[in-house]
Structure 1
Amino acid sequence: METERIILGSGDVHMKLFDGELPGVDEICKEDTKISAVQGGATIEYKPTYYTAKDDTRKIQKTVITDEEVTLKSGLMTFCGNTLEKICDTARVSYKEKTSTTKKRRIVKVGGGNNQGHRKYVICFHHQDSVDGDIWVMIVGNNQSGFSLAFANDKETVVDAEFTALPMDAEGTLIHYEEEVLEDTQNQTLSDTTEQNPVLDK
């Protein structure tokens, strides 16, 4: 029987453009797809909406799910202009080459309905756990909550991104949750140890 785990700790957020096919977690969770160092962990929220039809006596009723909403929230602590492009669908990035008096500069323009890119991303949160096994939570969507940049002399700037999930396949799947199951390996190790060191009856 599999034992339940204690989930303790944060993880990393990875992103890449969605091309219509969901990648495997090992494919997306690489160093070059890591969007930022995370502060405050990450939260995945599933929120269904129900409708219940009842007769006047409330003896007969039927309930169906009429809507589902999934969001993945995380605090992004390290970022640059390219990060802003990933969390804002009207953001555009360009570069201004260095001159004799200035260094190379990255320019990000935000806003304008005609500039909406309609981009969808695969967003994967990877929680690493060497004791109970890793966990991956993956959605397809984009940040629809906007962003806020706060600059202060006594606190780091953290962008609170809130990604809204969109259907990732023909079944309408909104969340792909995957976890390592280490119990079989642990049981095998225990079995091997028992065979090598049998307890003899006295």
Structure 2
Amino acid sequence: MATVKEDTILLGSGDLYLGQVDPNATETEIQAALVNVGAISGGATITYQTKFTDVKSANRGTIMSFLTDEEVTFKSGVLTWNLENLSRLYPAKFTSDTTKKRVGIGGIKNVPINYLRFVHTKPNGKKLTVNIFKAQAQDGFDITFDSEKETVLDVTFKALSVTNKTDGNLVEIIEEI
């Protein structure tokens, strides 16, 4: 029986970064623009879904199937409470002064599009990095204040395509070896 190597099984969560970055920016520009949005609760999930259109023959059944649509979503719970993060995620306006912070939500039509980076550190210290070049939080949110549980902002991002990328235009996953 073959033994599974320890570093082939991913456990745990990671760090979530967001920033306003041109999808074709250099790595140096990307790193300079990204902000760690805080601790993650409940891990993170990447979902890749496809839709196909079948070509059917009356006498032979399905003879061809074409990929006609694909969608990538990224879901995570943001645990660290920071009002400014709401304006990074949703159509909101953040302001602050020496006495208070404020975020106004609603009536703003432009939903931020972020470069999303999720970095998971494996037990061997190597990194697994997920980059979504254009991510937009399209679901709303619930904020629950419960004396028994921490307040977590569950966020679902939809990947928007980068039209001039030809080597994967929604998401990339990079594993250090």
TM-score band by shorter chain is 0.7 to 0.9
Match of 1:121 among 99, 114, 128: 114
Give the C-alpha shift of residue 20 in structure 1: 3.8
Over aligned residue pairs, what C-alpha RMSD do you find?
Answer: 2.4
Give the C-alpha shift of residue 19 in structure 1: 2.3
Alignment of 1:145 onto 2:145: no
Give the C-alpha shift of residue 119 in structure 1: 2.6
The residue number in structure 2 matching 1:164 is 158
**Separation in 1, partners of 2:161, 2:174:** 17
Give the secondary structure class of the aligned counterpart of 2:37: strand
Give the C-alpha shift of residue 29 in structure 1: 8.8
Alignment of 1:16-95 (within 5 A): 16-24=19-27, 27-28=30-31, 33-59=35-61, 61-88=63-90, 90-95=91-96
Alignment of 1:107 onto 2:102: yes
Deviations 1:11-61 (A, max 9, x none): 11011112242453995399x711010011111110011111101123451
Give the secondary structure class of the aligned counterpart of 2:58: coil
- Go from structure 1 to structure 2 and tell me whether the alpha carbon gap of 1:26 and 1:42 turns closer, same or farther (over 3 Å shift): farther
Greater Cα radius of gyration, structure 1 or 2: 1
Match of 1:5 among 8, 21, 24: 8
Give TM-score, length-normalised by structure 1: 0.75
Equivalent residues of 1:28, 1:124 under 8 A apart: no
Equivalent residues of 1:22, 1:122 under 8 A apart: no
Give the secondary structure class of the aligned counterpart of 1:160: strand
Please identify which structure carries the higher helix content: 1
Please identify which structure carries the higher strand content: 2
Give the secondary structure class of the aligned counterpart of 2:88: helix
Q: Percent identity?
A: 30
Q: Which runs of 5+ in 2 are unaligned?
A: none
Q: Which runs of 5+ in 1 are unaligned?
A: 99-103, 182-202
Give the secondary structure class of the aligned counterpart of 1:83: helix
- Go from structure 1 to structure 2 and tell me whether the alpha carbon gap of 1:116 and 1:77 turns closer, same or farther (over 3 Å shift): same
Give TM-score, length-normalised by structure 2: 0.85
